[in-house]
Amino acid sequence: MSESTAIAPENRTVIGITFGNSNSSIAFTVDDKAEVIANEDGDRQIPTILSYVDGDEYYGQQAKAFLVRNPKNSVAYFRDFLGQEFKSIDPTHNHASAHPQDVDGVVSFTLKDKDDKKDEEGEVVEEVPASTLSVHEVATRYLRRLVGSASDYLGKKVTSAVITVPTNFNDKQKAALVAAANAAGIEVLQLISEPVAAVLAYDARPESELQDKIVVVADLGGTRSDVAVVASRGGMYTVLATAHDYEFHGVALDKILMDHFAKEFLKRNSSATDPRENARSLAKLRLEAEATKKALSIGANASFSVESLSDGIDFASTVNRLRYETIARSVLEGFNRLVESVVKKAGLDVLDIDEVVLSGGTSHTPRIAQNLSNIFPESTRILAPSTLATAINPSELQARGAALQASLIQEYDAADIDQSTHAAVTTVSHITNAIGVVSLNEAGEEVFVPIVHPETAVPARRTVHVAAPKEGGDVLVKVVEGNTHIKVTKPEPKVKEEVSKSAKVEDADDEDEEDSDFSDDEEQEEEEKREKLWKIGNTLAEAAIHGVKKGGKVEVTINVNADLSVIVTTREVGAKGGVRGQL
């Protein structure tokens, strides 16, 4: 954080910002509740696009509409270029708007952002040349508009923000983002990682208990999908593993609908030009395909309608959700594999995952959440609109989390925020095995009762109460390490029923695309049963508490220090004294 932009805490007005390649959002906190702000167009998901027409600057949804008739003076999909050299960027998504250029290694765009000089009749008397703007300048201008909308909404000038960043943003990219925000007049209180912001938004709800848990955050956006496994331990978040994918995303789903409707158009108008071969037709096709895709997240059917799609011919059609899920199957399955791969990368099993948070616009897609609920056991909560009525809008999670964090830290001086938050954001050291006590179950067998869960960030302190035998007396507390293993029980072999091919769901009227055996999901063989069981590991300490009262309890406190040394304290609840041992 640069000194020049630091603002005294009492003078701050803070918001949370997510700045994506496709969309951005702004949010603020009121009465401990985060709310996403609608801009002057009424949008809460604000397209990350700037467009210049006759010297006027448009941003958001208005700029997106200009992609049809003003693509060259519109700039889209640029967030990921911040802090990168030209040679390392991927310009795939910039074909339908201003193309990135190499200006001495700096990613730049040429845009006609000023109007020509005109006389009173509107005739051009002097042409004003186009400007070459660096990605820093483009991001600055966009952020200025975004924050301007927040200031208008709040009725006072926003001074400071917490901004979310992908977990794979390097220091250069982060510095470039902070520099662009500063240039737009914003003090950056903190950059927080996108998945942690999403988890924060859920954890801040009054009804949520702060439990130790392992959460998978699947952030499925427009041009990238990012998945992270996050351990939440006593309010500390540790990112255990991440994966980033640039092939399975919202734009890939749009493309499937674009191809689908282009083919249908050509079938009906066999001599017409393919709308995919003309830039303007393609832009119209793209905008409408995205709208149709979004409608399919809510309804079972959606319409698609474009005036003058190609060669002046209007086109209108419909698609149902089943058909869409069928033709999009390969992309949808890509999301499954991505999520599974990250769980594996974290060295975990699906049974270890307590929650899956679906974040990002593409996470509205009902089939994605359904597929994930088939992959994870019933004990895993899938937090998505189609699987949980109380789920938070996936498109709003990150902005809300950022706004909550902003309101938490706004009272601190810039220097203190810097120090206090670095540890929380980066990966801190954590224990690998669980620590707990040995207890007897109803059958009289020794079982492991976890107290400090694996992946807990240290230092950590946890306390549990262990019931003494009914009649009281001496209680032996054995503190041990624990680790999990997965117990697999194979189902009883049974005669497999023949499923006739004709019983499968098929769309009658289409023959051109991969016909699918989609209903396979429902006819899977009965699955083997998999459970996570604790195994008792090394003994760390044993303590005997003598003469515990009838019906009494023993309190066991485990402190794991930053250097991973452990202190165990045991005492009878309500009694003085106790046993303390350092390991």
- Residues 224, 276, 400, 430: which binds ligand ATP (CB under 6 A)? 224
- The alpha-helical segments, DSSP class H, found in 229-388 are 250-268, 279-298, 321-327, 329-345, 366-375
Residue closer to ligand ATP by CB (options 203, 396) is: 396
Q: How far is the CB of 22 from Mg ion (least distance, A)?
A: 7
Q: Which stretch binds ligand ATP (CB under 6 A): 126-134, 221-229, 259-267, 516-524?
A: 221-229
Q: Which two tokens stand for residue 294?
A: 């979004």
Element at 3 (helix H, strand E): none
Q: How far is the CB of 304 from ligand ATP (least distance, A)?
A: 14
**Using CA atoms, how far apart are residues 327 and 320, in angstroms rounded to an integer?**
11
The residue sitting closest to Mg ion, measured at its beta carbon, is: 221
Element at 46 (helix H, strand E): strand 46-47
Q: Which stretch binds Mg ion (CB under 5 A): 70-78, 150-158, 216-224, 370-378?
A: 216-224
What is the three-class DSSP state of 471? coil
Residue 433's φ and ψ, nearest 5 degrees, are -95, 155
Q: How far is the CB of 60 from ligand ATP (least distance, A)?
A: 12
Widest pairwise Cα distance in the chain: 102
Does position 294 interact with ligand ATP (CB under 6 A)? The reply is yes
In the range 329-388, which residues lie near Mg ion by CB under 5 A?
A: 360
| Type of residue numbered 325 | E
How many Cα neighbours within 13 Å face the side chain of 61?
A: 11
Residue closer to Mg ion by CB (options 20, 60) is: 20
Using an 8 Å Cβ cutoff, are 549 and 459 in contact? no
**Using CA atoms, how far apart are residues 575 and 577, in angstroms rounded to an integer?**
7
In the range 37-96, which residues lie near ligand ATP by CB under 6 A?
A: 45
Q: How far is the CB of 242 from ligand ATP (least distance, A)?
A: 14
Does position 222 interact with Mg ion (CB under 5 A)? The reply is no
Does position 221 interact with Mg ion (CB under 5 A)? The reply is yes
In the range 19-48, which residues lie near Mg ion by CB under 5 A?
A: 20
Residue closer to ligand ATP by CB (options 25, 433) is: 25
Q: Could you tell me how many residues of this chain bind Mg ion (CB under 5 A)?
A: 3
Which residue reads 């897609």 in tokens?
365
- Which segments within 123-255 are labelled E, that is strand? 124-126, 131-134, 160-165, 187-193, 213-220, 225-233, 236-245
Going 359 to 360 to 362 to 364, the CA torsion angle's sign is positive
In the range 378-437, which residues lie near ligand ATP by CB under 6 A?
A: 395
Nearest to 92 by CA among 110, 104, 106, 76: 76
Q: How far is the CB of 192 from Mg ion (least distance, A)?
A: 13
Q: Which stretch binds ligand ATP (CB under 6 A): 20-28, 105-113, 210-218, 479-487?
A: 20-28
- Residues 222, 401, 436, 552: which binds ligand ATP (CB under 6 A)? 222
Q: How far is the CB of 512 from ligand ATP (least distance, A)?
A: 24
Which one of Mg ion, ligand ATP, none interacts with residue 189, CB within 5 to 8 A by kind? none
Using an 8 Å Cβ cutoff, are 336 and 375 in contact? yes
Does position 293 interact with ligand ATP (CB under 6 A)? The reply is yes
**Using CA atoms, how far apart are residues 129 and 126, in angstroms rounded to an integer?**
9
Using an 8 Å Cβ cutoff, are 124 and 132 in contact? no
Which one of Mg ion, ligand ATP, none interacts with residue 47, CB within 5 to 8 A by kind? none
**Using CA atoms, how far apart are residues 274 and 283, in angstroms rounded to an integer?**
13
Q: Which stretch binds ligand ATP (CB under 6 A): 277-285, 291-299, 434-442, 502-510?
A: 291-299
Which one of Mg ion, ligand ATP, none interacts with residue 141, CB within 5 to 8 A by kind? none
**Using CA atoms, how far apart are residues 249 and 224, in angstroms rounded to an integer?**
5
Q: How many CB atoms sit inside 10 A of residue 414's CB?
A: 20
- Residues 360, 436, 482, 552: which binds ligand ATP (CB under 6 A)? 360
Residue closer to ligand ATP by CB (options 187, 290) is: 290
Which residues would be at the binding site for Mg ion (CB under 5 A)? 20, 221, 360
Which residues would be at the binding site for ligand ATP (CB under 6 A)? 20-23, 45, 221-224, 249-251, 290, 293-294, 297, 360-362, 364-365, 395
